[in-house]
Chains A and B, each alone.
Chain A
Amino acid sequence: MKISFEQSGGIAGLRFATTLDTAGLPPEDAQKLRRMVDEADFFNLPARIVSPRPQPDRFQYKLQVQESSRQHTVTVSEEALPTSLAPLVKWLGEEARRKMREKNP
């Protein structure tokens, strides 16, 4: 399973992104990721999830998951983030920031 993640927006308008492949992860991380994708029912989420009352300066997340023949992309505003998707977004956000820090320890 391949996952790409991008966080944009916020008052700073910074972009954090990461791409990962479960094949290259420690088994426990790969398993956790698969579980979070399943629990979010990711492949059945709408492509765009927005709030009826958008809040300025919140983050925008874009997630793309590819697994064998399936691929799905979801763009979601922070204030409209479904509870089921929140753990995956949190995990990927931390991973993106960790990777960026590694570039410049």
Chain B
Amino acid sequence: MLNATNSPIRGIIPPHMLEEIAKRGTTRQKDWALHNLTFAGFVRGQRQAMAALPTAAAVGHKYRTVNDNKHEGGNPPTGALVFKEGDPASADPAVNEAYDGAGATYDLYYDVYQRNSIDNRGMSIVSFVHYESNFNNAFWDGSEMVYGDGDGDIFDRFTKCIDVIGHELTHGVTQHEANLAYSGQPGALNESMSDVFGSLVKQRVLNQTADKADWLIGAGLLTSKIQGQALRSMKAPGTAYDDPVLGKDPQPADMQHYVKTSSDNGGVHINSGIPNRAFYLAATAIGGNAWEKAGKIWYVALRDRLRSNSTFKRAATATISVAKELFGDGSNEMKAVQDAWKGVGVI
């Protein structure tokens, strides 16, 4: 199958077109496209082309489970399975929220980007709720979701916000694709990808167009004791909170204000404000549902173009070239993406 001699036009058809053919073409066209995808992946040494094969061949596999950590912690977390795909609603809101949020995230990736779960191979989405006690965080541990209940003082429970769930699960997608290093600019891009698709999960569930969305991450997660509306604002980075206890939201909105720091793995949750705003600018300039065009451009870049050491500049050139391939040279979409990265001073 990896014989180069029977791929006379390899390298001309971009992988995303091959994938479309692999999914929608006649049986013969599908075989040809799959062959070329595999060859292209082999040449580039990338695993995503291989990972694309099951999508083309199989239908989606949506299977979710929720485990209850019962505040016991552990790394990996402990706790029995309390809920599985198709069960009737639980009496525990954290269980329902973790399950529904995982479902909405799966649906965005599958319905819009034809991605079959986190790994594109239909992996089960496992969530642990009630992690430790007063735990002020949620995270993807490399193979499953972990949610704290918050301390009730600064944070409410972390399952409460569907964009937080989409954010965490997108860390899993990134791990299986660009695998952006979790430090400095690649780390801030990793964070930004999670905010972008987390926000898109929420916008799609609420059926909001780009101009109607709040572009906030974690709205409602901070308790009423805190002066702030959310963890971050993609539209206006640096304005999400300003509180005597937490301080002021430190996110920059452009490259001029890029923060150099050794905290937070080199400011991955700080400088993500820059690519976040670039996405907001692109999506609102394109208009309509942000997940359809801007989201597709960012998704293809994450899947096919970015690497573990990619910088903001690399993300700019990658998304511009994907926009060009998907929508045409000089298209409004391509111009919108170009203007967005110029708007935040990356290019």
Contact = CB atoms under 8 A, between A and B. Distances in A.
Contacts of B155: 12
A101 B137 contact: no
Interface in A31-62: 53-60, 62
Contact of A15 (B191, B218, B264, B265): B264
A31 to B, nearest CB: 26
Contacts, number: 85
Given A11-B137, A11-B164, A15-B263, A56 B244 contact: no
Contacts of B231: 11-13
B269 A12 contact: yes
A57 B168 contact: yes
Given A9-B265, A15-B247, A57 B153 contact: no
B73 to A, nearest CB: 11
Nearest to B175: A56
A14 B221 CA distance: 13
Interface string A2-38: 0000101111111100000000000000000000000
Interface residues of A, number: 25
A62 B263 CA distance: 8
A48 B232 CA distance: 28
Contacts of A12: 136-137, 155, 218, 221, 231, 269
Interface of A: 6, 8-15, 53-60, 62, 75, 79, 97, 100-101, 103-104
Interface of B: 75, 136-142, 151, 153-155, 158, 164, 167-168, 171, 174, 182, 190-191, 194, 218, 221, 231-232, 243-247, 250, 262-265, 268-270
